[in-house]
Amino acid sequence: MRAMRNSVAALVAAGLLAGTPTAGVAAASTAQDRADDRTAGDPPASTRAGAQIPVEVRFSRFWERNIGRLNVIEQRVEERFRDHALNERRPNSSVFRLNEARTAGTEWANERLIDKPENYTVTNLVTRLVQHNLDRAGVEPEGTIRVTIDRINLTNADLAVLNGATNWVKGRFALVGADGEVATEIRVSTNFVANPTVDQAYDGPEYAFWAFDETTRVGPVLSQFVEEGLEKMYPEHKDAIHGPVLVQPILSAPTQTFFRN
């Protein structure tokens, strides 16, 4: 179960309120949601703990058409994050040295879950979030966990089709038996609720994301989406299922805009 939300709003670049898409977007989304879902064909994320848990990620037809562009953006930004953001040795850059010093000890969710930037896709991220959570909870599903993503919105995304009034994910979780029959299916609609931490060297059980990723990248909101879905499927294991925590190294214009270029 997610730890109590920290109320230190000054640590978050922008807070988000729960909301719904406009009528036109909602109507289009509903029609697309009814279309046949398609299974993504990404390579496996890694062979880390929990990787033996079978997970299938699907997208609505609309997102099947757009997920490739989103993956390209995420991979590019993830590579820059790992190469330049908080680990860069730049003797002439006090901003990066300060970030690195203040966040030493933080295990970033990006790196905990996905081994290489080129494997950083929505499918692999959702797969690893499910596997990692269930492995920690000691859950061995009697079948495959199928996650279907119908809609994703972000308030400040580089991909226009993502942009919306709030950070928001809509989809379904299902347990599919070996015979292909759906044993359990639930619907999940997540409006992102910021969970900041005052600990800049966060080493807790929740999934640490850079605070500025809240409105620009899919990691934080997908982490909360998976958390809520698994908690509904396995309520008896809520205490071992976790979502995102936002870590903000320093308030600095260069760090806020670095990955937007």
Task: Tabulate helix, strand, coil % of the chain (nearest 5).
Answer: 40, 20, 40
Residue 71: predicted pLDDT:
95
Residue 241: predicted pLDDT:
97
Residue 165: predicted pLDDT:
83
> Left (φ > 0), alpha (ψ -120 to 50) or beta: where does 30 sit?
alpha
Residue 80: predicted pLDDT:
86
DSSP 84: I
Given a contact cutoff of 8 angstroms between Cβ atoms, the answer to whether 45 and 114 are in contact is yes
Residue 259: predicted pLDDT:
42
Residue 85: predicted pLDDT:
54
Residue 148: predicted pLDDT:
98
Residue 202: predicted pLDDT:
84
Rg (CA), the chain: 18
What ranges make up the beta strands (E) of 88-234? 144-153, 168-176, 182-191, 207-210
Residues 6+ apart with CB under 8 A from 152: 63, 70, 162, 168, 169, 218, 221, 222
> pLDDT tens for residues 50-98?
889 999 999 999 999 999 999 999 999 999 888 765 444 444 444 444 4
Residue 36: predicted pLDDT:
41
> Left (φ > 0), alpha (ψ -120 to 50) or beta: where does 110 sit?
alpha
Residue 220: predicted pLDDT:
96
Residue 9: predicted pLDDT:
34
Residues 6+ apart with CB under 8 A from 71: 42, 120, 121, 122
Mean pLDDT for the chain overall: 76
Residue 212: predicted pLDDT:
83
Instruction: Give, in order, the Cα–Cα distances in Å from 251 to each of 11, 23, 244.
Output: 8, 36, 20
Residue 100: predicted pLDDT:
57
Q: What is the pLDDT along the chain (261 residues), one digit of tens a residue?
A: 444 333 333 333 333 333 334 434 444 444 444 334 434 444 444 456 688 999 999 999 999 999 999 999 999 999 988 876 544 444 444 444 445 556 666 788 988 899 899 999 999 999 999 999 999 999 999 999 999 999 999 988 888 888 888 899 999 999 999 999 999 999 999 999 888 887 777 888 999 998 888 989 999 999 999 999 999 999 999 999 999 999 876 544 444 444 443
